[in-house]
A and B are shown apart, each in its own frame.
Chain A
Amino acid sequence: MYPADCKYTKDHEWIKIDGGVGRVGITDFAQKQLGDVVYLDLPQVGRALKLGDAFGTVESVKAVSELYSPVSGEVVAVNSALAEKPETVNKDPHGSWMVEIRLSAPAELESLLAVADYSALVK
């Protein structure tokens, strides 16, 4: 059920690479754990991130959860439409990208989980 063309983190983010840019969101497992998402706090375009940096916050009624960058790079786009309708994250987590990051160290992708490993992690 998790898209095979993405890489995953142990913190339940997904990243989908297109060229040198990765779109990042949270997984179906993450949205289920959070429950109804009601607020997204996303970074500004231009922000420089290192692998593992907290780049934003996703809040449900019951919890606040940090978003951690799966790669190093620069934020080149932010999905502000998603921030307006945060409940979309529950309905379509793998279609709900939050930021686009231009990778500065593509080799980091090797350290992320492939779909089989991620599926096993959340089983």
Chain B
Amino acid sequence: MVPFAGWDMPVEYSGLSNEHLAVRTRAGLFDVTHMGQVEIAGKDALAALQWMTSNDASRLTIGQAQYSGLMTPAGTFVDDLLVYRFAEEHFLLVVNASNVDKDYAWIVEHIRQFGDVTALDTSSRYALLALQGPVASHVMQQLTNFDLSGMKYYWFAHGEVAGVRATLSRTGYTGEDGFEVFVPPRQAPAVWNAILETGKNDGVIPAGLGARDTLRLEAAMRLYGSDIDAETTALEAGLEWIVGWKKENFIGRDALLRQKESGVTRRLVGFEMTEGAIARHGYPVMIDGRKAGVVTSGTQTPFLKKAIGMAYVPATHTAEGTGVDVEIRGRLRRARVVPLPFYTRPKG
């Protein structure tokens, strides 16, 4: 167990690599109850959300979710989040555990100018379990009357899971097919046990924070506080796809537009070490012997069995195959730029 944003989190259960491989080949069950929830409701909920978040929430149908950013006026991240459209005028935001208080204060401050809208920090009302992996839908289908074959990626529905009232969402942070289940905290242990019991024959095992990090890195999903933060913009982070250029004004739009027109000077890229060493968060990226960037995430991943990572590098050095050095314990080690994501799940 390690302390994480005020929670005691299991880093691993049976071993990080074992859990990582289970998620890639079978399925793993994560307790991600630490994630925060903020609900926005009222006649002006959509207008407020459109102003505060980068992606275009008006494109969400009820029952659909999207990845988005809570942006500063500089186009950098207050947080990254998922926006769920619960009803026409009711949205659920799922935010990072370490940012709940900051996000809630930010949201309250910025919805002032809107009339009929409220914001509630409902984090303590939800436990969140994530079943991720190729057998996830087969296992989950045995526990629910939802027709999961009709539920597309980034859609959700309300119903029962293991006899408990739940919101079931086809989302995740591993690069695999899978589900996130919102349940009342008191009933979470029963649902957790039911999923493990039902999935036992299919090889479902509990998975911890360690595997969650290596899995999301292979899938190149950004981690707030490492790959993105209040110093990095959506464009630098390669997340222009969550910038709703077509919608009306939103916080950070002007800055992002200026940056788009002038061009970014640095960008988040994927890299692979080409000589034996592992790059980690915070290690300097060196070009021609000078510090030119920084590694934001890096590890040796259990599935790809390579030392990979993401780093901010100058825009001149982002082309696939470009060689850069990473300074590891005082020594320069060769790496080359590779396309993101490192891992894409097989289709079908």
Report which A residues bind B (CB closer than 8 A).
35-36, 38-39, 41, 57, 59-62, 64
Contacts and interface: CB of A to CB of B under 8 A. Distances in A.
B12 A62 contact: yes
B214 interface: yes
Contacts of A39: 276-278, 300, 307
Given A35-B16, A38-B278, A57 B300 contact: no
B216 to A, nearest CB: 14
Contact of A35 (B15, B307, B329): B15
Given A39-B300, A61-B214, 10 more contacts: A35-B12, A36-B15, A36-B16, A38-B278, A39-B277, A39-B307, A41-B277, A59-B278, A61-B299, A62-B210
A38 B214 CA distance: 14
Given A36-B302, A38-B300, A39-B300, A61 B17 contact: yes
B329 A41 contact: yes
Of listed A38, A41, A62, A64, residue having the most chain B CB within 10 A: A62
Contacts, number: 38
Contacts of A35: 12, 15-17, 210
A90 to B, nearest CB: 10
A66 to B, nearest CB: 9
Interface string B306-330: 0100000000000000000000010
Contacts of A61: 16-17, 20, 210, 214, 299-302
Interface of B: 11-12, 15-17, 20, 210, 214, 276-278, 280, 299-302, 307, 329
Contact of A64 (B16, B17, B280, B302): B280
Contact of A59 (B11, B214, B300): B300
Contacts of B299: 61-62
B329 A57 contact: yes
Would you list the 5 A-B pairs with minimal beta carbon distance, nearest first?
A38-B300, A36-B17, A62-B210, A61-B16, A35-B16
Nearest to B305: A38
Contacts of B210: 35, 61-62
Contacts of B307: 39
A57 B331 CA distance: 13
A74 B279 CA distance: 29
16 contacts: A35-B17, A36-B15, A36-B16, A38-B278, A38-B300, A39-B277, A39-B278, A39-B300, A41-B277, A41-B329, A59-B278, A61-B20, A61-B210, A62-B12, A62-B299, A64-B278
